[in-house]
Structure 1
Amino acid sequence: MYVAKDALVEYWVDSLVQFLSFQSPSDSGSLSQFLFFRYDDTNPEAEKKEYIDHIEEIVGWMGWEPFKITCSSDYFQELYELAVELIRRGHAYVDHQTPDQIKEFREKKMNSPWRDRPIEESLKLFDNMKRGMIEEGKATLRMKQDMQSDNFNMYDLIAYRIKFTPHPHAGDKWCIYPSYDYTHCIVDSIENITHSLCTLEFETRRASYYWLLDALGLYQPYVWEYSRLNITNTVMSKRKLNRLVTEKWVDGWDDPRLMTLAGLRRRGVTASSINSFVRGIGITRSDNSMIRQDRLEYHIREELNKTAPRTMVVLNPLKVVITNMDASTMELDAKKWPDAPADDASSFYKIPFSKVVYIEESDFRMKDSKDYYGLAPGKSVLLRYAFPIKCTEVIFGEDNKTILEIHAEYDPSKKTKPKGVLHWVSESSPGVDPLKVEVRLFSKLFMSENPAELDDWLGDLNPESKIVVTDVYAIHSLKSAVIGDTFQFERLGYFVVDKDSSPEKLVFNRTVTLRDSYGKGGGK
């Protein structure tokens, strides 16, 4: 069994994850026990060590350990010898057409003028190519297939081209390199692959795959194609993703807005939730299906609701001064988990409560209403894990419009039973502000469900797909958080500590909001 590097498409979620996720990595008899993980590194100019290292590392992060890791470049000598044999059998020839000429002749279903050159002449020229005696672009080795076929992939595909470029794995031994179309099926056969899995765009190459193995008299694996993963409000193609990154529409391959494995991981998505998502959608040959992002987010919430401890953070702080409290600070218990037993100390964390607390700006308004559960003049709310407070005065700025702070009184007896419950943070001690952090709020990268169908797909980018909120207030105990730690910010969503964090300032990425439209919703 084999999945090519192209199936992973380097940094993004695609057919490798879709295939691997048939079973959990921990399942006995897992498919990974039979999986060859191969780098189809046939083009020395396209192979970068950072890609190679990342692919292997990200597959490991997904929880998969292949039976064997190989490279197509491991077989360069065998591939060359088989190319010589192909010429000897009259199934390949050295061609001197330019790329434009090849394209024109293919469109007209015309044979190359060098198609019928003598076998000995092609053998000599191919040897000259190997020894670096012919310039780049001046010759290729082409397979002698069927120029009259209805399948474009049978129009004498290129088997070898000249490139005076060292290979990151094979070194400088070669100046001719095999094409993917030539290499793929032969290495499948050499490695005794039972099933070669590809996405549907490779279906038209099946004829060429079997033609070459038949021409060389080699063992023929079973080829099976299936549809690639398509998710709404994003793009999944290699070409489009590359444009987004190289033209700096996003912040690199691991931008949390991208449906790349690196981006999803940086956003705080776990490998197990990705596996669960893919197992849930299954495999299909229908190439028109679009999976809603909400469905992936549902699986993310299902896991984070169980694993992410709760804490409180205020995005847009509004100062509340509790006038009937002295300058002391009390320490309260807050639940890390909604159903934490009262006698389990590890399920709680400590939060300070002092004369000055901060609530969300959006949780206060000047006019109350029956369907409003926030704070308003003369109205009471409950500060979660703390006490009821009642707004007694609103302090405005010089313009008489900007609210500077709220004055309130708290009920230490907790006899007041307001309907509204607000999250909040407090000064850690009198005059000491809460911990200041940065929060990045991510939403769908594109406004349309299927931007790939649009002519101006870049014009469909969501200008509010990333919102950076600075000067966010958090409880001081979060200062010990490290990169990769996940939390549920009560009422705000699930968040992860980003790699941009420093000792001076923590940075959090929002993974998902608390509620969704696909499943039952988020955390409690």
Structure 2
Amino acid sequence: MKLQREQKQESANRNNTVERNLSLWQEMQQGTPLGLKCCVRAKISMEAANGCMRDPTLYRCKDMIHPRTGSRYRVYPTYDFACPIVDSVEGVTHALRTTEYHDRDEQYFWVLDALNLRKPYIYEYSRLNLMHTVLSKRKLTWFVDTGVVDGWDDPRMPTVRGVLRRGMTVEALRQFIAAQGSSRSVVMMDWDKLWAFNKKVVDPVAPRHVAVAEQSVPVTVRGLQAGTIRVAWHPKNASLGDHEVDIGPELLVDHVDANCMTVGSNVTFIGLGNLRIVEVHRDAHGVPVSVLAETNLEDRNYKNTLKVTWLCSKAQLVPCTCFFFDHIIRKAVLTRDDDFKQFVSKNTKLKVPMLGDPLMRKLRKGDIIQIQRKGYFVCDQPYDPDTIRHVGQPAPLVLFFVPDGSQSITTLPQVVQDFYQQNKLDAHHQGSNNSNSSPVRQGGGSVQVTAEEIGAKIKDVGNHVRDLKSKKADKATIDAAVSQLLKLKAEYKEASGTEWKP
């Protein structure tokens, strides 16, 4: 039938008698083998310029149990037939449809004219496409059915349930949608823009917590007695109040922070003050295993010091399991000819064990916090002090990393940085070997670079330019970086045929 429609060929049953059609209709209603092969089509014109008007299907058989009506019906109306009728009968005045339905508008109004029903007004707007994913329900079902993701609410899924579970707020979604307007231009949106809206919502109210890697480095502090200090929940929102933080002669810091400590230097322990490093003990491979420090709290010069987060080793620390996620599709933008299954990312979920401050045991599902110097997290599973059956250990607090729209990953733990960098390299490697990519030859050499790779370079150089400007670098350095950025944008246009749009 599809081939006949494309070739404008009439069906052999197009000129059946009314009696023959009614007989076949009865077969369809009864769900007989013959009836299941039939469908009801509108007799319009197989010569129509618009393919949607070449005898479209109005009813078809569905030999499945309906969740509400069971097996009572075997024949169901198609979406294209039911939609205009429902819109008109239910009083819809304006039907908002994406531009992909434009060719079906003529069919929409034909149904209403044939039934002498009121016509709603159709307003078109462009479909919002997101990079590094698919939005087709059929394709997303494949991800669920094959076990690539854990379900429709998996944090990697581009579903409302998925992004909310990952830490997106309803208010951020509303602001993002309102900002898009109703343009008819095709939009390919980067996820970072959506998460940037979310950061503006959660940052002013997210309480600050502290967590360190499970394999942390102990810092013995001379002159620091066991006790508590009071620390604000948020440095810029006094309305959140403050809380007690345990201190003592032994503190815990991350390996990456201990590795940066040098003997004789001041290190600012955030919330506590400056400590002077006396010794840094390392193993045979140069990895720090312990640090000896002494209090220097009277020195309040924090401008040029190393800043670290810490926890008291004697506090009742909460075991945390932090999950980090990456895109389910490696290629930024899929073309019509691309088979999405060839671009499915294999490693998109990273589990990182950490130790959190004692007050994390009070977090409830859906709470969004900021772990200082590590980012925003949403509680997916609260800490349960009751032991896990057959294991004999408390159920850890489960946290999901919430993206903030930033391209920078330097604040994340090293294992997480390695995770994202490796995925990025894998994506670039596949893009360079994919025949469906749009190549461009640079400098007359033999190396071909895809438009996707150039786009990634543009983002990196753009971030570099912004960093230079924020650090007030000299004009010559900034101009050189800007020149490189403009050159890359020109190469992108040559490769893709379109202007670069972030």
TM tier, smaller: 0.7 to 0.9
Residue in 2 that maps onto 1:276: 175
Label 1:291 to 1:414 Cα distance change in 2 as closer, same or farther (>3 A): same
- 1:246 to 2:246 alignment: no
Q: How far did residue 475 of structure 1 move?
A: 0.4
Residue in 1 that maps onto 2:157: 258
Residue in 1 that maps onto 2:459: none
Asked if structure 1 preserves the Cα contact closer than 8 Å seen for 2:204 and 2:237, the reply is no
- 1:507 to 2:405 alignment: no
- 1:466 to 2:352 alignment: no
Q: Secondary structure at the match of 2:378?
A: strand
- 1:196 to 2:87 alignment: no
Counterpart CA distance in 2 for 1:484 and 1:202 is 37
Residue by residue over 1:101-129, the C-alpha shift from the partner in whole angstroms, topping out at 9 and shown as x without a partner, is: x2232232111111111223323432343
Label 1:337 to 1:224 Cα distance change in 2 as closer, same or farther (>3 A): same
Q: 1:301 aligns with which of 174, 196, 199?
A: 199
Residue in 2 that maps onto 1:148: 47
Residue in 1 that maps onto 2:209: 311
The one-letter code of the counterpart of 2:199 is: R
List aligned pairs for 1:467-486, cutoff 5 A.
467-470=350-353, 472-486=354-368
Residue in 1 that maps onto 2:11: 112
Counterpart CA distance in 2 for 1:352 and 1:255 is 36
Counterpart CA distance in 1 for 2:14 and 2:88 is 27
Q: Secondary structure at the match of 1:130?
A: helix
The one-letter code of the counterpart of 1:484 is: G
Q: Secondary structure at the match of 1:208?
A: helix
Counterpart CA distance in 2 for 1:457 and 1:409 is 57
Residue in 1 that maps onto 2:262: 376
Q: Secondary structure at the match of 1:230?
A: strand
Q: How far did residue 386 of structure 1 move?
A: 0.6
Label 1:107 to 1:416 Cα distance change in 2 as closer, same or farther (>3 A): closer
Residue in 1 that maps onto 2:228: 331
Indicate the larger mover: 484-493 or 196-205: 196-205
- 1:439 to 2:322 alignment: yes
List aligned pairs for 1:391-470, cutoff 5 A.
391-397=277-283, 399-414=284-299, 417=302, 419-429=305-315, 434-452=317-335, 455=338, 457-462=340-345, 465-470=348-353
Q: Secondary structure at the match of 2:36?
A: coil
Counterpart CA distance in 2 for 1:156 and 1:118 is 17
Asked if structure 2 preserves the Cα contact closer than 8 Å seen for 1:317 and 1:358, the reply is no
Counterpart CA distance in 2 for 1:230 and 1:159 is 30
Label 1:336 to 1:273 Cα distance change in 2 as closer, same or farther (>3 A): same
- 1:496 to 2:378 alignment: yes
Q: How far did residue 452 of structure 1 move?
A: 4.9
Q: Secondary structure at the match of 1:498?
A: strand
Counterpart CA distance in 2 for 1:138 and 1:513 is 52
Highest relative contact order (Cα 8 Å, sep 6+), 1 or 2? 1
Label 1:128 to 1:241 Cα distance change in 2 as closer, same or farther (>3 A): closer
The one-letter code of the counterpart of 2:207 is: P
Asked if structure 2 preserves the Cα contact closer than 8 Å seen for 1:494 and 1:514, the reply is no
Counterpart CA distance in 1 for 2:321 and 2:121 is 52
Residue in 2 that maps onto 1:214: 113
The one-letter code of the counterpart of 1:162 is: C
Label 1:250 to 1:405 Cα distance change in 2 as closer, same or farther (>3 A): same
Label 1:458 to 1:202 Cα distance change in 2 as closer, same or farther (>3 A): same
Gaps of at least 5 residues in structure 1 are 1-101, 366-373
Residue by residue over 1:78-110, the C-alpha shift from the partner in whole angstroms, topping out at 9 and shown as x without a partner, is: xxxxxxxxxxxxxxxxxxxxxxxx223223211
Residue in 2 that maps onto 1:349: 243
Q: Secondary structure at the match of 1:334?
A: strand
Q: Secondary structure at the match of 1:362?
A: helix
Label 1:134 to 1:258 Cα distance change in 2 as closer, same or farther (>3 A): closer
Q: Secondary structure at the match of 1:166?
A: coil
Indicate the larger mover: 350-359 or 242-251: 242-251
Indicate the larger mover: 316-325 or 384-393: 316-325
Label 1:115 to 1:463 Cα distance change in 2 as closer, same or farther (>3 A): closer
Asked if structure 2 preserves the Cα contact closer than 8 Å seen for 1:352 and 1:427, the reply is no
Q: Secondary structure at the match of 2:15?
A: coil
Counterpart CA distance in 2 for 1:500 and 1:458 is 35
Q: How far did residue 420 of structure 1 move?
A: 2.5
The two structures, once aligned, show a CA RMSD in angstroms of 2.7
The one-letter code of the counterpart of 2:399 is: F
Counterpart CA distance in 2 for 1:200 and 1:211 is 19
Residue in 2 that maps onto 1:43: none
Indicate the larger mover: 142-151 or 229-238: 229-238
Q: Secondary structure at the match of 2:365?
A: coil
Counterpart CA distance in 2 for 1:443 and 1:165 is 37
Residue by residue over 1:224-247, the C-alpha shift from the partner in whole angstroms, topping out at 9 and shown as x without a partner, is: 222111122332232332222222
Counterpart CA distance in 2 for 1:334 and 1:447 is 42
Residue by residue over 1:175-206, the C-alpha shift from the partner in whole angstroms, topping out at 9 and shown as x without a partner, is: 21111122111121221211122222211111
Q: Secondary structure at the match of 2:164?
A: helix
Label 1:339 to 1:132 Cα distance change in 2 as closer, same or farther (>3 A): closer
**TM-score, length-scaled by structure 1:** 0.70
Q: How far did residue 496 of structure 1 move?
A: 0.4
- 1:173 to 2:72 alignment: yes
Label 1:321 to 1:104 Cα distance change in 2 as closer, same or farther (>3 A): closer
Residue in 2 that maps onto 1:58: none
Asked if structure 2 preserves the Cα contact closer than 8 Å seen for 1:255 and 1:266, the reply is yes
Q: Secondary structure at the match of 2:124?
A: strand
Residue in 2 that maps onto 1:75: none
Residue by residue over 1:283-311, the C-alpha shift from the partner in whole angstroms, topping out at 9 and shown as x without a partner, is: 21122x21222211211110011121111
Indicate the larger mover: 203-212 or 236-245: 236-245
Indicate the larger mover: 196-205 or 414-423: 414-423
